[in-house]
């Protein structure tokens, strides 16, 4: 049996391996899931939620083991890995299930002597293809609502983090009936085979290019799709912003998880009057960051692999060659480690100004006015998140409302309160995760009408 090996990006050592799924066997896996779905879908919403709730204690008992695995396989600092592992179980899982159950309960409408009941029924089999940057959190966003809705799931974790994906699934496999959740492992060939199979839905998080391929392929049978794709998130720093607060956010959101975050801050537009002070503060924070293996007490771990490292370094080099100025970093890179880098004078003519970086680089561009900042922030095919910093929050919010993004943070990150969707605009997504409407995307809406 062919095996898929997984490597520690900090050391290059083999972390472990999983069996590689032959692409020509993927449809057989889907067939098994479809057979199992019939009984699982008939169990009932509340009973399914009760079964899934048993996973909370199992995830809690494995926080340390899961965090260690995330760090060794993906590279993020252990403290960040622990936070990710912690969110899988405990009260967080309970709240998520409560939200899903509430979203999927039947609704009744009456008018004109008729009574209509809106049901949210299982679709059938959902294919979930998940990324490597949050290798346990992102599967939960797709697998949990799909299962709670009564679907069976065929889950393909990223080939970069197959051990994390398998560990996430192993908890659920302990409590679920056979074949309701099945895991396949591999890279492009296995992902394409899953999309080409007769699954009823594909949920995917990853690059814009792969998302477009999935949408084209899914169109043949009009499979349902939920796609969370890339971003080139802007940050606008207004002239009345708290400079220390804005710089701290920019450093955190540009460099956390080594910049490998879909809503990382990739473009910073700063009003000219405060640009010197902002750049100085941001450069100081970047220079103070500790880089190393995520197992150690560091702020920034390695890039996930050499390919991603080379992409980031090529963007930095090309930007400097084209006239960008280095304020911090841009040297000391080695192996898969990229030093947190601050560039200023970044223009849209530079690759790093328009193409997703997904690495620890903060790109600063000075602007003469708010109108220029908004225009440049919106000049992109992406539209996942954006942030605005300014002490006058009503003014900052008015700027935020002008931005073409699915999620906008005012003096904070883009993540909303529980119950809000995770949603992108333009080419950053199709459909969305979380929230009442997000959970309903894993269902078939069915309306039954009879006399009142």
Give per-residue pLDDT as tens, 294-326: 999 999 999 999 999 999 999 999 999 999 999
Q: What is the pLDDT of residue 412?
A: 98
Domain of 302, CATH number, reads: 3.40.309.10
Q: Are the CB atoms for 342 and 283 separated by under 8 Å?
A: yes
Average pLDDT over every residue of 147-160? 98
Active-site positions read: 228, 262
Q: Are residues 209 and 308 in the same domain?
A: no
Q: Are residues 220 and 344 in the same domain?
A: no
Q: What is the pLDDT of residue 114?
A: 97
**What whole-number distance in Å separates Cα of residue 334 and Cα of residue 94?**
43
Q: Which domain holds residue 129?
A: 3-230+426-451
Q: Are residues 131 and 54 in the same domain?
A: yes
Domain of 48, CATH number, reads: 3.40.605.10
Q: What is the pLDDT of residue 153?
A: 99
Average pLDDT over every residue of 423-448? 95
Give per-residue pLDDT as tens, 342-381: 999 999 999 999 999 999 999 999 999 999 999 999 999 9
Give per-residue pLDDT as tens, 262-298: 999 999 999 999 999 999 999 999 999 999 999 999 9
Q: What is the pLDDT of residue 163?
A: 98
Q: Are residues 308 and 390 in the same domain?
A: yes
Q: What is the pLDDT of residue 321?
A: 97
Q: What is the pLDDT of residue 263?
A: 97
Q: Are residues 79 and 175 in the same domain?
A: yes
Give per-residue pLDDT as tens, 325-343: 999 997 889 999 999 999 9
- pLDDT reading at 135 higher than 80: yes
SS (H, E, C) 319-387: HHHCCCEEEECCCCCECCECCCEEEECCCCCCHHHHCCCCCCEEEEEEECCHHHHHHHHHCCCCCCEEE
**Residue percentage of the chain with pLDDT more than 70:** 100
Average pLDDT, rounded, for the chain: 97
Average pLDDT over every residue of 397-401? 98
Q: Are residues 104 and 226 in the same domain?
A: yes
pTM (two decimals): 0.96
- pLDDT reading at 432 higher than 90: no
**Residue percentage of the chain with pLDDT more than 90:** 98
Q: What is the pLDDT of residue 1?
A: 79
Q: Are residues 179 and 251 in the same domain?
A: no
Give per-residue pLDDT as tens, 35-89: 999 999 999 999 999 999 999 999 999 999 999 999 999 999 999 999 999 999 9
Q: Are residues 272 and 291 in the same domain?
A: yes
Q: Are residues 128 and 43 in the same domain?
A: yes
Q: Are the CB atoms for 404 and 300 separated by under 8 Å?
A: no
Long-range contacts of 431-434 (CB under 8 A, 24+ apart): 431/225, 431/226, 431/227, 432/226, 432/228, 432/406, 433/141, 433/142, 433/226, 433/228, 434/141
Give per-residue pLDDT as tens, 169-205: 999 999 999 999 999 999 999 999 999 999 999 999 9
Among 226, 244, 72, 151, CA closest to 444: 151
Q: Are residues 148 and 159 in the same domain?
A: yes
Number of domains in the chain: 2
Among 240, 179, 182, CA closest to 38: 179
Q: What is the pLDDT of residue 388?
A: 98
Q: Are residues 66 and 196 in the same domain?
A: yes
Q: What is the pLDDT of residue 330?
A: 73
């Amino acid at each position: 049996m062919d095996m898929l090996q997984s490597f520690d990006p900090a050391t290059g050592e083999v972390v472990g391996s999983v069996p590689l799924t032959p692409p020509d066997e993927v449809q057989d896996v889907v067939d098994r899931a479809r057979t199992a779905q019939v009984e699982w879908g008939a169990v009932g919403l509340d009973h399914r939620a009760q079964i899934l709730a048993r996973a909370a204690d199992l995830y809690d008992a494995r926080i340390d083991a899961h965090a260690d695995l995330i760090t060794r396989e993906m590279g993020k600092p252990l403290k960040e890995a622990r936070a990710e592992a912690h969110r899988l179980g405990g009260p967080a899982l309970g709240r998520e299930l409560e939200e899903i159950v509430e979203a999927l309960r039947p609704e009744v409408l009456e008018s004109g002597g008729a009574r209509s009941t809106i049901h949210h029924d299982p679709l059938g089999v959902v294919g979930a293809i998940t990324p490597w940057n949050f290798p346990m959190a992102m599967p939960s966003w797709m697998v949990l609502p799909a299962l709670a809705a009564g679907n069976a799931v065929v889950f393909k974790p990223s080939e970069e983090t197959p051990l994390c994906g398998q560990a996430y699934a192993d908890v659920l496999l302990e409590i679920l009936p056979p074949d309701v959740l099945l895991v396949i492992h591999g890279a492009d060939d296995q992902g394409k085979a899953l999309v080409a199979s007769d699954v009823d839905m594909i949920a995917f998080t990853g690059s814009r290019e792969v998302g477009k391929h999935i949408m084209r392929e899914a169109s043949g049978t009009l499979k349902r799709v939920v796609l969370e794709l890339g971003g080139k998130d802007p940050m606008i720093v207004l002239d009345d912003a708290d400079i220390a607060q804005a710089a701290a956010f920019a450093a955190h959101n540009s460099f956390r998880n080594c910049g490998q975050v879909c809503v990382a801050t990739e473009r910073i537009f700063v009003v000219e009057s405060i640009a010197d002070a902002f750049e100085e503060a941001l450069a100081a924070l970047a220079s103070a960051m500790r880089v190393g293996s995520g197992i150690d007490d560091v702020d920034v771990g390695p890039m996930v692999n050499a390919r991603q490292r080379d992409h980031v370094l090529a963007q930095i080099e090309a930007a400097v060659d084209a006239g960008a100025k280095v304020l911090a970093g841009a040297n000391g890179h080695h192996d898969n480690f990229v030093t947190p880098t601050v560039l200023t004078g970044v223009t849209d003519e530079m690759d790093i100004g328009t193409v997703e970086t997904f690495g620890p680089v903060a790109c600063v561009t000075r602007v003469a006015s708010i109108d220029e900042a908004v225009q440049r922030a919106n000049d992109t095919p992406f539209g996942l998140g954006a942030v605005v910093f300014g002490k006058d929050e009503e003014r900052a919010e008015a700027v935020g409302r002008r931005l073409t993004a699915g999620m906008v943070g005012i003096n904070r990150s883009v993540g909303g309160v529980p119950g809000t969707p995770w949603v992108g605009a333009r080419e950053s997504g199709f459909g969305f995760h979380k929230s009442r409407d997000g959970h309903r995307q894993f269902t078939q809406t069915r309306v039954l009408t009879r006399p009142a």
